[in-house]
Amino acid sequence: MATSRRLGGVDPFRRSSLPLPQTPSPRARARASFTNQEASQPTPRSPTRRSPPRLQTELRTSAARGFSSPASGRGTVPSPRFLSGLVWSRSTQCTASSLGGPVARRRSRFSTLMMTAYTTGTPDLVDFNWDALGFQLVPTDFMYLMRCSSDGVFTKGELVPYGPIERNPAAAVLNYGQGLLEGLRAHRKEDGSILLFRPHENALRMRTGADRLCMPAPSVEQFLEAVKLTVLANKRWVPPTGKGSLYIRPQLIGSGAILGVAPAPQYTFIVFVCPVGHYFKDGLSLISLLTEEEYHRAAPGGTGDIKTIGNFASVVSAQRRAKEKGHSDVLYLDPIHNKFVEEVSSCNIFMVKDNVISTPLLTGTILPGITRKSVMGIAQNLGFQVEECNITIDELLGADEVFCTRTAVVLSPVGSITYRQRNWCAWRLQAAARGNMRPDVVRGRRAQPFLLLPPSTKHILLQI
């Protein structure tokens, strides 16, 4: 795998690759004088204007006013490797539950610099139409890579420019699907600081999935470190408050080449980020579900309860048919009796009946969603009765309300469910009680739900 990408003929991660200074010619001096005169004039930002490749590399390492660009004539920009070291210096001296607290008295001079540059005031944002933000890939500045050999020990990772990576055609992930992914979000508060939603839960879930697929996994500390480094390096891509969030995609893949069916000899842990809006095209409007009876998402004894990459490819066909009929997504039933509700292809499902909130019982075929777990805890502390049980499709069609949860879809109310010749339509929505709950909590504007969480979910938010 290529660990760096050359931009404009310059390797941003090796100082030795920079061109040696030369005596400028008269023509070069004249051109430099003209460029300096132009630089002194203010230039309006434009979404279509692109800087030269080398200048892009330099600017990408300067996500805040704490570091000045060489073009400004006020200093130099640290390389991404130096940037990684600074953030690492800061984060290794702070615990997940006390960032920004008393630990600040023990920070080094480098950690203080990074604190000033990244987590105070309102940092600069990319020139982007945030109002048109959807759930599509938007390339950002940096991604994170960390490798592991067959001994199961991950080496120290690094930030590299976002872009393609090289893979051997015999890699285990390409031939046998040995790979896992996670998904979480970073939200910007009004003061410019960034909040992560329960990242330690994603780290633990990845370790559970890795054990199932015979893969070594990063420790929880390594996972959190990688996420924080990647978010901070791409902080200018975190949407303004209320305009969206920064979606974080950690991946663990069998990158080593192997011909027979066996664990890969090497593994790679990757984290990239992307600014996103709503998952469904209609935002938080009511979604429509089509019940699938021919295909099933998972079977007992399979991998439905871990986030392996193969679980998602199998739902594309049914999802496409549903969307061709005007539905938002697919509702799957159990593979044995074909009558018990399991989950939607991209999220967990809840139903409300007589003020009781119910969700399908985790039996090994349903992904244990982190948003699902959080909603259950919050609802219980708000006085709702919450049950995990087997739910038949007939019971679901008799519900007062149905909604879906997952990191990508957040909390989406269901407006209709189609099953054979029957169609359920929502007639009573309590959006004020549930639809507005989680966005307020994750953005840190309402302290009451957070204070009511049980001890096991106290550290629901992580500020970086």
CA atoms of 428 and 405, how far apart (whole Å) = 18
Q: Are 412 and 347 in contact (CB under 8 A)?
A: yes
Q: Are 4 and 79 in contact (CB under 8 A)?
A: no
Residues in the chain: 464
DSSP code for 10: B
Q: How many of the other CB atoms lie within 10 Å of CB of 6?
A: 15
Catalytic residue among 307, 323, 353, 458: 307
User: Does the annotation mark 323 as catalytic?
Assistant: no
Q: Are 245 and 252 in contact (CB under 8 A)?
A: no
Phi-psi region at 242: left, alpha or beta (left = phi > 0; alpha = psi -120 to 50): left
Beta bridge partners of 268: 147, 253
Ordered DSSP codes for 345-393 = TTBEEEEEETTEEEEE---SSS---HHHHHHHHHHHHTT-EEEEE--BH
Beta bridge partners of 180: 252, 308
Among candidate residues 404, 454, 441, 381, the one with its CA nearest the CA of residue 185 = 441
List, by residue number, the catalytic residues: 307
